[in-house]
Structure 1
Amino acid sequence: MTERVILEPGMPAPEFALLDQDGAERKLSDFRGEKLVIFFYPQAMTPACTTEACEFQESTAPLAAAGYRVIGISRDAVDKLRRFADRDGLEYPLLSDPDTAVHRAYGTFGEKNSYGRIVEGVIRSTFIIDEAGNIERALYNIKATGHVARVLKMIAE
């Protein structure tokens, strides 16, 4: 098993080029000059991931007012992301990383404790990224519920 990357504040956010729910390529560099909140979640249309994604959708106005755009990344296929966005009214980019290359670059895929068993999978995480593409905050192994309120509080500091 390869050692997991852990990103720290001040480090450059790893570049990526992934397809969104509409099949359009999105690169991190396309967002240069904008502040981002990127969240990695295990699986579209599951209860916890739906809660987290909907909380981000409900918070897009305050996040935008603070100058932030939201991006979600999962291993789900583009067509499943489209169904997720349509079903739950998600208006921000949902990016597909089926081979987990971007997850691994951000340290969001690896060993984790799931109900007492050590398994390999997605580690729910969120990154706050500045206009220059650097990590401001790296939040690993977070809980889905209430997490967005914590992010809003952090960016207000």
Structure 2
Amino acid sequence: MLKVGDKLPQFEGINQDGETINSEKLLGKKLVIFFYPQASTPTCTVEACNLSDNYSELEKAGFQLLGISGDSVKKQKNFHSKFSFPYDLMADENRDVIEKFGVWKEKKTFGKTYMGIVRTTFIFDENGICTRVIEKVTSKTAAAQILEG
């Protein structure tokens, strides 16, 4: 998994509107990249809405946000539209970015073991250096966890 001190991996992907997101263009501002297992599921919705509800505070602190999951552009679009998120959601169906960040891992739910995205938030400085990794994301207080750092 990507850790504190690591450089932002180079990546390119498609957002909810079909536009290209390039990691190079994200430099110059503090950056929060949050990975979530699946669009429109209860816990992911709580997390994304918490970040949206506190977006102005995050912006005041100098952060830009990007959410990434393995969902299709269409699913990201529906999720984004339904809740009018003020930040981009990126579709990573091939898991290229998910793998680069190291958040595709073995998970266990109700005794069943499977591979999936582990909910994780990465914070980068203006130069693309990772300053914090939040591995135990609390969906209801995701924005506060970012701001307390």
TM-score range, shorter chain: over 0.9
2:18 corresponding residue in structure 1:
23
1:146 corresponding residue in structure 2:
141
The aligned runs of 1:5-154 (5 Å cut-off) are: 6-154=1-149
Other structure's SS at 1:145 match = helix
CA contact (8 A) 1:10 1:135 kept: yes
Distance 1:69 1:37 in 2: 6
Other structure's SS at 2:52 match = helix
CA-CA distance at 1:149 after TM superposition = 1.5
Letter in 2 for 1:89: S
The alignment of Structure 1 onto Structure 2 pairs a total of residues equal to 149
Deviation digits for residues 87-117 of structure 1 (CA, Å, limit 9, x no counterpart): 0111201000001111111011111222333
Letter in 2 for 1:19: I
1:3 corresponding residue in structure 2:
none
Other structure's SS at 1:132 match = coil
Distance 1:146 1:32 in 2: 26
Distance 1:14 1:108 in 2: 13
Letter in 2 for 1:114: T
Letter in 1 for 2:4: P
Gaps in structure 2 of 5+ consecutive residues: none
Gaps in structure 1 of 5+ consecutive residues: 1-5
Deviation digits for residues 48-67 of structure 1 (CA, Å, limit 9, x no counterpart): 01100011111111111111
TM-score normalised by L of structure 2:
0.95
CA contact (8 A) 1:55 1:148 kept: yes
Letter in 1 for 2:144: A
